[in-house]
Amino acid sequence: MRKVRVRLGSNSYEIQIGSGLLAQTGQQLKGIGFGDKLVIVTNPTVKGLYGDILKQSLISEGFKVNILEVPEGEEQKSLETAGRLYDELSHFYAERTTPILALGGGVIGDVAGFVAATYMRGVPLIQIPTTLLAQGDSSIGGKVAVNHGQLKNKIGAFYHPRLTISDISTLKTLSPRELSDGLAEIIKHGVILDGEFFSYLEKNLDKIKSLDDQVLEGVVSRSAEIKAGVVEKDELDLGLRNILNYGHTIGHAIESVSELKVWHGEAVAIGMIAEARISNKLGRLDQKEVSRLKSLITRAGLPTEIPDLEVEKIIQAMKHDKKILQGKLRFALPKSIGNVFITDEVSPSLVEQVLVKGNEET
Ligand SMILES: NC(=O)c1ccc[n+]([C@@H]2O[C@H](COP(=O)([O-])OP(=O)(O)OC[C@H]3O[C@@H](n4cnc5c(N)ncnc54)[C@H](O)[C@@H]3O)[C@@H](O)[C@H]2O)c1
Ligand SMILES: [Zn+2]
């Protein structure tokens, strides 16, 4: 098992990464000294796969466990779901000290985290991410949220878990598309801050795809460590965390114009290539680095070009994006693999150029 410490003063906590950790969760939580009541929030798919292992581990340590189910899907990240969970928590007599265990992907992590942050002004949260996207990215950083109308992820809080348990053996039941989707943010962490990690991913991609335990453990740990390092320096997203938005200025717009048919990691992958091309056109990033990135993204099973979407609509969606700054779009762009810079000086016409022309170039 590897451990990544997230240093945030009184909000500090540990991320544990390893194979078979679910079965030891009871012991871990006993060690922290929680009371005897716990709530698991999960969805039917994850409950079917991992609910029993987790529940047994908790029951065998004497915990009383209540499982609350949220149906599948992004649309469940809503105030209605949160409202229903508040009712169920209250029905179960959950108290301020009753921990909520978020067992699932990013959707469960976000909505259960939001409920943990707000029920009784905050109850202890344990993140147990089960997708590669959640283990390598979304469960780290304390952003918990629901969607509301056009406001995606905008009703939320910064709320850190007391402990995060990333059991990499849960990744074995993901579909190849889900695994690839999670790789996008992991690749992003290499591009923005760690060229050596990027090279490691290039060398070990086949082992990641064949779910080699040791390699997966290393990759999830390093990805978590990189994100934690940024979050430690900018917990409330007032500056440095902007670099995590590499690939997202364009990616978010693709995701929303596609009406979520293009998944988050897939949209970020397309966004990373388009934004690398922008950096190349600005004379900051070598064409060789753009090609390296494109090659790794392709090998990871991710798309590299916008699907059948209107470029004009993508540009419009970007203008609505939160990163709009006094009429200018904010971009985090790579200047080499492992280094990034922030700029507000990218014109919509340059974006249009890379999105349209991108289809013909390398
Ligand atoms: N809070 C953040 O900082 C942050 C960052 C990035 C993304 N997100 C959010 O994360 C969400 C996307 O997360 P996601 O990609 O994990 O999606 P998800 O939670 O919808 O999970 C994807 C699918 O995998 C299934 N699943 C989960 N674990 C599984 C397992 N071990 N085996 C088999 N199937 C499994 C789920 O039931 C679901 O159908 C979005 O809502 C996005 O906004 C949040
Ligand atoms: Zn993202």
- Residue at 55 is within a domain: yes
List strand residue ranges (DSSP E) for 87-227, in order: 100-104, 125-129, 143-148, 151-158, 163-167
Q: Running DSSP on this structure, what letter comes out for residue 134?
A: I
Work out how many domains the chain is built from and give that number: 2
51 alpha carbon – ligand 1 mean position (Å): 16
Q: Domain boundary residue among 109, 141, 172?
A: 172
Decide whether any atom of ligand 1 lies within 6 Å of the 72 Cβ.
yes
CATH number, domain with residue 351:
1.20.1090.10
State the average pLDDT for the chain.
94
DSSP E strand stretches across the chain? 2-6, 13-18, 37-42, 64-69, 100-104, 125-129, 143-148, 151-158, 163-167, 324-325, 328-336, 339-346
Do 150 and 237 share a domain, yes or no? no
In this predicted model, what pLDDT tens digit does every residue of 121-176 receive, in sequence order?
A: 999 999 999 999 999 999 999 999 999 987 889 899 999 999 999 999 999 999 99
What is the 347 CA–ligand 1 centroid distance (Å)? 33
Give the domain extent around 196. 176-357
Say if ligand 1 is within 6 A of residue 168 CB.
Answer: no
Same domain (yes/no): 268, 142: no
Are residues 311 and 183 part of one domain?
yes
Task: Provide, rounded to the nearest whole percent, the portion of the chain with pLDDT above 90.
Answer: 86
Q: Same domain for 131 and 185?
A: no
pLDDT for the residue numbered 306: 87
Same domain, 196 and 319: yes
Lowest mean pLDDT among 145-154, 245-254, 314-323: 314-323
Residues 187 and 241 in one domain: yes
Residues 259 and 335 in one domain: yes
pLDDT number for residue 360: 53
Tell me, yes or no, whether 338 lies in a domain.
Answer: yes
Residue nearest atom 44 of ligand 1, based on CA coordinates:
138
Q: Which of 172, 187, 204 is the last residue in one of the domains?
A: 172
Q: Quick one: 109 and 155 in the same domain? A: yes
Are residues 166 and 183 both part of a single domain?
no
Residue 101 inside a domain? The answer is yes
Is 362 within a domain? no
Position 348 confidence tier, pLDDT thresholds 50, 70, 90: confident
Q: Which two tokens stand for residue 212?
A: 């080699």
Ligand 1 lined by 194 (C-beta under 6 Å): no
Give the Å distance between the CA of 104 and the centre of ligand 1.
Answer: 7
The domain that contains 103 carries what CATH number? 3.40.50.1970
Q: Residue 104: inside a domain, yes or no?
A: yes
With a pLDDT cut of 70, the percent of the chain lying above it is 96
137 and 276, same domain (yes or no): no
129 & 237 share domain: no
